[in-house]
Amino acid sequence: MKIVIIGGGTAGWSAAAAIARLLPGIADVRVIESADIGIVGVGEATLPHVRQFVQQLGIDEAAFMRATHATFKLGIDFRDFGRIGDSYIHPFGTFGRELAQVPFHHFWLESRKTGSPPDIGRFSLAVQAARAGRFQIPRDDDLSLASSYGYAYQFDASLFGPFMRDFAQAHGAQRTEGRVVEVRQDPETGDIASVTLESGESFAADLFIDCSGFRSLLLGETLEEAWEDWSHWLPCDRAIAMPTASPPGEIEPFTRATALEAGWAWRIPLQHRVGNGYVYSSAFLDDETAAESLRRTVQGPALADPRLLRFRAGRRRQSWVRNVVAIGLASGFLEPLESTSIYLSHMAIMRLIELFPVGGINPADRAEFNRMVDKEYDRIRDFLILHYHATTRSDSPFWDHVRTMTVPDSLSGKMEMWKRTGRIEKYGEGLFFEPSWIAVYLGQNIVPEGWDTRAALPEPDGLVRALDGLQQEIGALVQAMPGHRAFLQAEAQRLADAA
Ligand code: FAD
């Protein structure tokens, strides 16, 4: 089956690598990319799922990390979101241990009746390791507290695509350099028949994967699939990015997101530099003031001039239409507050591989793909909105807007259930399970009025002792971990010794 992928950014080369590696002999893959157009070149913070993607392809973690100058990430430190001066970490891991199938946070809430327990982050190994600047690979033993967290990578976005390109080409994917200037549709079916480059060369295929970035060349421009706009809930539409030199000392094993006057700033420490950026709403802030604010907030000397990026929050109504599957920015975009975009690309690639249309496209498979992509987008959208809406900030028109806006019914329902019962909607797959929502709700000072009655069953003294014991256990595990920089150096040495 012939596959043509338009676009050689993170999405395009990830798709080519996965299809070439996981469907050998079934799909004949060609990537068309244009050096003149280039790639978006940002996207440095990821989620733990990227590890599964890399592992499924059989890529060696240490080699991949070295090639992309990657660091480890245990979560995101949100500063000044609920109130100026607040800081909480959304960890890749759980809080405490559940008891008799009652999640830990209910006991934590119960313990507030008799005193003021420590911050819930004190019961998360990922949070405590992140705060201490330490890192260790989690243990592979479900019963151990040392397995209660996960991790992701922070990598150089300009090196990730080329790494995947080399991998894809080593597994048989072909590459063509050139700009697509014409798209031909089959006059009867409306399917895309071929694309033609500036050079005049044409490429036909059975399936086209549109990874052309924000242009959405096939799905948006050619097939005119409708755009669902979410900017009324997520008003940030610009970013200024600027790398700085790495400071001496420990490399923080987490991404930082600091709320500012009209959005928030990211800080992503890599091995060789720090990625910084200010994501803001152009309705509330002009570009020059944003660049000035970013310059003021970064630490260390700048390694490049600030770069402006424009985007819109939303997605194409369907990502798979006719014989075109859009993946990456061509399908939609939700701002990078929770580092979800590369996840969405990898999720869509794996769904496409599961539903791969070997004997021709079946409309039911296409509908299933679109249903799964929808679900993921909707859930991420609600989770992102929560970070803005759950605030008492009133220090700028931007925060007044997001604090008082009407949120989607799906989010207000979740918030109402949390406030009333301390419960989180359960689902089996995708992103952002219970601990993620707990981290943001409690981190942004939304404390439930009720919780599971079974949490009142232990004796209050016993509960306090159990919480103390848990804190001590976590403290001892963190103390035994190496510093993040030392761990990275040891990994690099291990790779060098193995070579
Ligand atoms: P692009 O990188 O734009 O690639 C598009 C490709 O299409 C290029 O190769 C281009 O040459 C090609 N192309 C386009 N038109 C044509 C044509 N006519 N002919 C031939 N080729 C063509 N994601 C995260 O997961 N974590 C983050 O921390 C994060 N931060 C972000 C911050 C910002 C400000 C932005 C805007 C995005 C961020 N993202 C993040 C998203 C992430 O950058 C993207 O998901 C990722 O880079 C994938 O981009 P892409 O491959 O879809 O598009």
Q: What is the pLDDT of residues 269-300, one digit of tens each?
A: 999 999 999 999 999 999 999 999 999 999 99
3-state secondary structure at position 77: strand
**Confidence bin at 69 (pLDDT 50/70/90):** very high
Q: So what's the pLDDT on residue 142? A: 86
Q: What is the pLDDT of residues 320-330, one digit of tens each?
A: 999 999 999 99
**Is the model's pLDDT at 41 over the cut of 90?**
no
Q: So what's the pLDDT on residue 496? A: 75
**Is the model's pLDDT at 26 over the cut of 90?**
yes
**Is the model's pLDDT at 1 over the cut of 80?**
yes
**Confidence bin at 10 (pLDDT 50/70/90):** very high
CA–CA dist 242, 273 (Å, integer): 11
Q: To the nearest 5 percent, what fractions of the chain are helix, strand and coil?
A: 40, 20, 40
Percent of the chain with pLDDT strictly greater than 70 = 100
Count up the domains in the chain and report the number: 1
Mean of the per-residue pLDDT values for the chain?
95
The sign of the torsion formed by the CA atoms of 230, 235, 237, 243 equals: negative
The reply to whether ligand 1 has any atom less than 6 angstroms from the CB of 344 is no
Domain-located, residue 483: no
294-300-304 Cα angle (round to 5): 65
- Among 2, 73, 375, 426, the active-site one is 73
Q: pTM for this structure?
A: 0.96
Q: DSSP alpha helices (H): ranges in 355-396? A: 363-389
3-state secondary structure at position 3: strand
The answer to whether 73 is a known catalytic residue is yes
Give me the numbers of helices (H) and strands (E) for the chain, helices first please. 14, 21
**Confidence bin at 362 (pLDDT 50/70/90):** very high
Domain-located, residue 469: no
**Confidence bin at 241 (pLDDT 50/70/90):** very high
Domain-located, residue 361: yes
Domain-located, residue 289: no
342 within 8 A of 43, measured Cβ to Cβ: yes
With the most atoms of ligand 1 within 8 angstroms of its CB, the residue from 37, 68, 334, 346 to mutate is 37
254 within 8 A of 90, measured Cβ to Cβ: no
Range 126-131 average pLDDT:
98
Atom of ligand 1 nearest to the CA of 340: 25
Q: What are the backbone dihedrals phi and psi of residue 347, each rounded to the nearest 5 degrees, phi first?
A: -60, -45
Domain-located, residue 275: no
Give the Å distance between the CA of 262 and the centre of ligand 1.
24
What are the residues whose beta carbons fall under 8 Å from the beta carbon of 288, sequence distance 6 or more?
none
**Confidence bin at 99 (pLDDT 50/70/90):** confident
CA–CA dist 95, 433 (Å, integer): 12
Q: What is the pLDDT of residues 172-197, one digit of tens each?
A: 999 999 999 999 999 999 999 999 99
Domain-located, residue 65: yes
Domain-located, residue 83: no
The reply to whether ligand 1 has any atom less than 6 angstroms from the CB of 329 is yes
Between the two ends of the chain, the Cα-to-Cα distance in Å is 37
**Confidence bin at 374 (pLDDT 50/70/90):** very high
Domain-located, residue 18: yes
208-209-215 Cα angle (round to 5): 110
CATH number at residue 166: 3.50.50.60
3-state secondary structure at position 401: helix
The reply to whether ligand 1 has any atom less than 6 angstroms from the CB of 45 is yes
Q: So what's the pLDDT on residue 244? A: 97
The reply to whether ligand 1 has any atom less than 6 angstroms from the CB of 328 is yes
3-state secondary structure at position 120: helix
**Is the model's pLDDT at 114 over the cut of 90?**
no
The domain in which residue 188 lies consists of 2-71+155-227+314-378
**Is the model's pLDDT at 498 over the cut of 80?**
no
